[in-house]
A = this chain, B = another copy of it.
């Protein structure tokens, strides 16, 4: 097991990464406020891991209620959130009950948001079971649901009390989801960690083959970067925005094609290529840098072009992004490979050109 800490004063919390951690009650129980929990999961993960986690906790004298919602980004909305609230109220969850989010990014985001809002805030723990959630979304306290007009538009900052990433759960992860998670892993290399990018270029096939040591290393290094950035800028007033490389383009793709059609990681990969293209347009990176990034995404089996929504639709959707300020699109771009910056210097024509250069053959 490897461990890290997200340093946020009195709200600091550990991240544990390793194999078989769902069986380790001693990792989880000390972080419960009281000895009762509500496990929020989905109908895919529940048959795989709910019983195991419940067994671990109940053997340690902890009461477990559970609530399984449908699986998929298309359910990350008010309607499903209300199903969680209905379950909480009908089972009389108190504000001292601990919510445990057992699942991927959607479960973590929505379970975390439910915990943020229920009785104005209850404690919660992240138990991510996808690569994407283990390397990114379970860490840092961003919670949200989607709105038809924009992804993650309604949410809260609500830090978990603990993150437990059991790498055994990746054994049942569909290949497509594993590849989606790699998009966020590659992101950490691109924004500020060239040695990690090089390590990924050397070890990508080990990751795709689910080599346990390689996966643990990738998760650990990703979480280390994320923990450091979150500790420095919890509320995203500055450098935390860099973690959104490819995300403004990517969110437009996810919203534009309809939630649940593209995986978040797939949209981030295509979006990152658009950001790279735009960075090249601005003369910040070279064509060979763009090709290098593209090669890595292609090896990971990720898309490097976006769907043909129409350029105007892209721009319109991007204008709903949370990073828009005074009507200006602020984008995360690459000053160089391994050095991301937030910038609003690109003109709308340049942005449109970068998108146009990265659309799938229609």
Q: A: which residues have CB within 8 A of B?
A: 34, 78, 82, 85-86, 89-90, 92, 94-96, 116-121, 142, 144, 147, 149-150, 153-157, 235, 319-320, 322, 324-327
Contact = CB atoms under 8 A, between A and B. Distances in A.
B325 A157 contact: no
Contact of A157 (B120, B147, B320, B324): B120
B156 A156 contact: yes
B157 A121 contact: yes
A154 B78 contact: no
The complex is assembled from copies of this chain, and their number is 2
B34 A326 contact: yes
Contacts of A92: 319-320, 324, 327
A156 B117 contact: yes
A154 B119 CA distance: 6
Contacts of A319: 92
B95 A147 contact: no
A150 B325 contact: no
A88 to B, nearest CB: 8
A116 B156 contact: yes
A151 to B, nearest CB: 11
A118 B153 contact: yes
A28 B272 CA distance: 42
B120 A144 contact: yes
Contacts of A153: 85, 89, 118-119
